Amino acid sequence: MNKKKVTIKDVAEKAGLSITSVSQILNGNTQRFSEKSIKKVQAVQEELKYVPDFFAQRMVTKKSHLVGVLVPDISNPFFAQLFLGIQDILTQQGYVALLYNMSDDQKQESHYVEELIRRGVDGLIIASSSFSDQSIYQALQAQNLPMIVMDQKTETDLVDAVQTDNFDGGRQAAVYLQKLGHQKVAVVLPEKATVNVRKRYEGFVSVYGNNILEVASELSTSGGQVAVKDIVKSDVTAIFAINDQIAFGLYMGLKEAGKKIPQDYSVIGFDDIGPCKYVTPALTTIAQPTFELGQEAAKMLIKRLIEPKKEPEEKMLPVKLVQRFSVTPLK
């Protein structure tokens, strides 16, 4: 025989309060209730193991406590760590994160944004690079739905954004290589670079000028691997991989070409994802505070939900050079 489902009426009767009062307390509207009543309801809820009906709660609060999170590539450890930071804060605040992998597909992104709006999310955190499509922004505005743009600041200043100092990261990488005597250098990056990637490149160029070999590559290990064929034809001594996954691809490609790191080529990456410590040699890279970046985005969204009419905010987090063993000074 199935056990009878506990209802809010059961909680109200046990607590000696009205159903309306119990509903308000369980939904966080506790201002007009005594501490004794609040604790009584909480104790009865725990005793009876009452789980509020999601859809009934939503009708009362007008909130789903769902947040959509859009990333371009969850297989990249950077975005996995980013999501963990987002989830850390959202969970503390009673929200559930819905993760969508966009694969840098603008049409797919538009579809998922529309789907998330249909499902009634309270807000969006967007780390997907194709968010230049103004139709998405317009759809969000039409629904009065708050969103945070992560590390992909667009041309509009009408949304909140949190990002890392990509320009300074590129500059730090260049200063380090130049200090070690590397004058002929290559940068491996996509032909159609996203805003944050372009900033890294610009920071690097601010030190070396235009005397740089640019090698086109996808933001992936396979992209880095393919880029090696152009690098070995040149006389460069050091390579700046615009992200760590490209750097790992360079490791593979250079090994296949019979070259060694750092004896033949010094390599520096960007992101400081987990595997950087475990490849041989351990990768020198520019570290982003990835987990904290996710936390800040979630905090910013919660703040926006509380204060929907506040001025748009932009926050920049610092990056730092992590020296390991993939870069060597020229003799």
pLDDT digits (tens, 9 = 90+) for 60-88: 545 678 899 988 888 889 999 999 999 99
Is the domain of 189 the same as that of 272?
yes
Strands 284-287 and 320-322: antiparallel
Query: Is 12 a residue whose pLDDT tops 80?
Result: yes
**In which band, very low, low, confident or very high, does the pLDDT at 1 lie, cut at 50, 70 and 90?**
very low
d(CA 313, CA 120): 24
Same domain as 299, residue 152 = yes
Residue 30 belongs to what domain range? Answer: 8-61
Name the token pair of 97: 């994160």
pLDDT at 117 over 60: yes
pLDDT the model gives residue 3: 60
Print burial letters for 308-328: b (CB count within 10 Å at least 16), e (below 16): eeeeeeeeeeebebbebebbb
Give percent of the chain with pLDDT exceeding 70. Answer: 85
Mean pLDDT of 154-178: 86
In-domain check, residue 327:
no
Question: For 273-313, how does the pLDDT look when each residue is reduced to its tens digit (9 = 90+)?
Answer: 999 999 999 999 999 999 999 999 999 999 998 888 888 88
Residue of 164, 128, 123, 152 whose CA lies nearest to 301: 123
Q: Give the Cα separation of 284 and 266 in Å (integer).
A: 9
Give 243's pLDDT tier (boundaries 50, 70, 90): very high
Quote the Cα angle for 154-243-214, to 5°: 90
Answer yes or no: is pLDDT of 55 > 60.
Answer: no
> Given 61, 77, 97, which residue is the final one in a domain?
61
Pair 47, 82 in one domain:
no
189 with 134, same domain: the answer is: no
Task: Report the run of H or E that residue 43 belongs to, with start and end.
Answer: helix 35-48
**Per-residue model confidence (pLDDT) at position 205:** 97
Tell whether 187 is covered by a domain: yes
Domain count for the chain: 3
Residue 145 within any structural domain of the chain? yes
Instruction: Report if residue 2 sits inside a domain.
Output: no
Query: Is residue 135 located within the same domain as residue 242?
Result: no
Residue bearing the bigger pLDDT, 38 or 261: 261
Q: In the chain, what is the straight-line distance between the N-terminal and C-terminal CA atoms, in Å?
A: 81
Is position 85 within any domain?
A: yes
3-class secondary-structure state, position 207: helix
Q: What is the mean pLDDT of residues 174-193?
A: 95
Higher pLDDT, 120 or 213: 213
| Claim to verify: residue 135 and residue 172 sit in the same structural domain | no
**Residue 3, domain member (yes or no):** no
Distance separating alpha carbons of residues 262 and 281, to the nearest angstrom: 8
Contacts of 172 (CB under 8 A, 6+ apart): 203, 286, 319, 320, 321
Same domain, 52 and 32: yes
What's the CATH number where 227 sits? Answer: 3.40.50.2300
Domain-terminating residue out of 61, 78, 101: 61
Averaged pLDDT for residues 249-260: 97
Instruction: Give the type of residue at 268.
Output: I
Give domain status of residue 330, yes or no: no
Residues 16 and 154 in one domain: no
Residue 323 covered by a domain: no
Enumerate residues 6+ apart whose C-beta is below 8 A from 216: 189, 190, 191, 227
The pTM score is: 0.79
Please check whether residues 127 and 52 belong to one and the same domain. Answer: no
Kindly report the CATH number assigned to the domain that includes residue 42.
1.10.260
Q: Are residues 170 and 264 in the same domain?
A: yes
**H/E element holding 315?**
strand 314-317
- pLDDT, tens only, 192-228: 888 889 999 999 999 999 889 999 999 899 999 999 9
One domain for residues 18 and 54: yes
Asked whether residue 53 falls in the same domain as residue 76, the answer is no
Dist. CA 225–CA 215, nearest whole Å: 12
